[in-house]
Amino acid sequence: MSITLSGLLMGVAVAAIILTGIVYFLNGKKVENWVISFLQNYCGALFIFSGFVKAVDPLGTAYKMEQYFTEFESTFEATWFSFIAPLFPFLSGFSASFSVLMIVFEILLGILLILGHWPKWTSWAFFLLVLFFTFLTGFTYLTGYVPQDVNFFSFSGWGPYVESNMKVTDCGCFGDFLKLEPKTSFLKDVALMVPAILFLLRYKTMHVLFSGKIRNIITAIGVVGFLVYCISNFSWDLPGYDFRPFNKGKNVRDQKMIEEEAMANVPIIAYRLENRQDKSVIDVPYAEYMKTFQEYKKTHDVLEQVKGKSSIPTTKISDFQISDVNGEDVTYSILDNEGYHFMIVSYKMYGDPIKKQRTLRDSIFTVDTIVTQDGVNDLVKSFDKVVESKEDYFDYTWDDTFLNNYKNKIGPLLQDAAKDNIPVYAIVGGAGEEMIEDFKSDSGLNDLLFLTADDILLKTIVRSNPGVVLWHNGVIIDKWHIKKLPSYAQIKKIMK
């Protein structure tokens, strides 16, 4: 089931009307301003819903925050504020904690608005959070006007809006439940500034439900409950609801073929050209450019093709591409596998490289030509000396939990599956052949086939590192958090 932003906002409005009716029933005579009361319920319901769909998958928000931190680092390090840049990699290390706190705080504000609890504090907190969201979504949208080789703060270098310029393609306002265009997200937050300012000005007219003690109890239960729910959805289990494209039952092979065919048929509607002299950018309609491209080539460079919309929405499945350690594409050999097979997913291998040096010894031989008694020339090789040389290499120190998960969870699965000739392979992100070989040696899993893929793709497939995915004929049958991985005997019961 798909939903649009307008449909979502309409649903929130209906919920707000119902809540306002309840407020009238409970406290009607004491409500000073029904417009403010309705806005309390509307914004409260919206924040609770927005927070909940992110609480389902806190790692999704954490990964989005990592993208923002990376972009902020590269943006600020080329400015007078370069001293700020090192802060963002540090913050990135706590992205999961920030994600949980931000999600719970958003839900908390929703609860406080509906209850009318601590109106002055709630009004200021709501205003500051909406302001923060507006900054993020505005930054995301405006980067579309910033060419790839131009810094965000170099305003004179901005050009026309190009969607591919954006490093962060959506704000994640509603997680993976609903993807919004950056401009739409920005305008949504600008609109929310209206009630945010009204709350600041008229917080004294906010409705208040129940006694202070009851409001405190509801608030505490809500915060603790959602905090535990958030953490449970990534720390020791997978999200309770999977809104991502790689959900259970998805036929990834068929969907990928459909999306690739649709993308191949997207029409070119124009060519975006840049004048070599004044750097001005123009869009030339396709038909016109094809007739006069020889003339344009004399004065302009082609920046990109401007394409129309795909006939179907594209998902992360379009980016599903797997390679072996030598860079050879093995995507469809996996998707076309008709039998059951296990995919072990690790978007990151937790190992710290230590540079070391080792001595290599090569034996040197001399080759002499001799004449045998028969008068035939013959080559005789004789030992001459041993030559030593130095070679740099990396030895990896692995995170104990990560290494033990492979030893104690993946290892037994590999052994049991091998008895039934069920293939097991690991797909890792950001690892080279040397790192993989070191890990295989240290884990004792020398028989495990390792493949590579983009780390963002792997994060999308399963929210566990490592995570286990069971496939059959291009379809995802099931997937598990490493802490919830059942025994092979239990898994066999679902392999029909």
Q: Which tens digit of pLDDT belongs to each residue from 102-121?
A: 999 999 999 999 999 999 99
Would the pLDDT of 341 be above 90? yes
**pTM to 2 decimal places:** 0.84
Question: Which of 48-62, 357-371, 432-446 shows the lowest mean pLDDT across its residues?
Answer: 357-371
Helix (H) or strand (E) holding 288: helix 286-299
Question: Which of 193-197, 266-270, 435-439 shows the lowest mean pLDDT across its residues?
Answer: 266-270
Would the pLDDT of 260 be above 60? yes
Q: Looking at residue 373, what is its pLDDT?
A: 62
Instruction: Give residue-wise pLDDT tens across range 366-382.
Output: 777 665 666 666 666 77
Instruction: Give residue-wise pLDDT tens across range 188-215.
Output: 999 999 999 999 999 999 999 999 999 9
Q: Looking at residue 369, what is its pLDDT?
A: 66
Residue 384 · residue 420 · CB < 8 Å = no
Q: Looking at residue 366, what is its pLDDT?
A: 76
Question: 400 or 391: whose pLDDT is higher?
Answer: 400
Would the pLDDT of 91 be above 60? yes
Cα 26 to Cα 202, 207, 231, distances in angstroms: 21, 11, 35
Instruction: Give residue-wise pLDDT tens across range 290-317.
Output: 888 888 888 888 888 888 887 788 889 9
* 489 phi-psi bin (left φ>0, alpha ψ -120 to 50, beta other): alpha
Q: Looking at residue 166, what is its pLDDT?
A: 82
How many other C-beta atoms lie within 10 A of the C-beta of residue 165? 17
Q: Looking at residue 172, what is its pLDDT?
A: 81
Topology (CATH level 3) of domain 318-350+399-492 = Glutaredoxin (3.40.30)
- Written as one string, the DSSP assignment of 431-454 is --HHHHHHHHHHHT-TT-EEEE--
CA atoms of 371 and 209, how far apart (whole Å): 110
Question: 175 or 38: whose pLDDT is higher?
Answer: 38
Q: Looking at residue 45, what is its pLDDT?
A: 97
The mean pLDDT value for 455-479 works out to 95
Nearest alpha carbon to residue 55 among 101, 1, 16, 5: 101
Would the pLDDT of 357 be above 80? no
Cα 399 to Cα 260, 349, 436, 454, distances in angstroms: 38, 9, 14, 21
Nearest alpha carbon to residue 171 among 189, 150, 157: 189
Question: 412 or 315: whose pLDDT is higher?
Answer: 412
Instruction: Give residue-wise pLDDT tens across range 58-67.
Output: 999 999 999 8
The mean pLDDT value for 268-293 works out to 85
CA atoms of 279 and 478, how far apart (whole Å): 52
Question: Which of 338-342, 389-393, 491-495 shows the lowest mean pLDDT across its residues?
Answer: 389-393
Residue 328 · residue 458 · CB < 8 Å = no
The mean pLDDT value for 75-101 works out to 89
* 375 phi-psi bin (left φ>0, alpha ψ -120 to 50, beta other): left
The mean pLDDT value for 77-98 works out to 89
SS3 (DSSP) at 167: coil
Would the pLDDT of 1 be above 60? no
Q: Hey, which residues does 362 pair with through a beta bridge?
A: 387
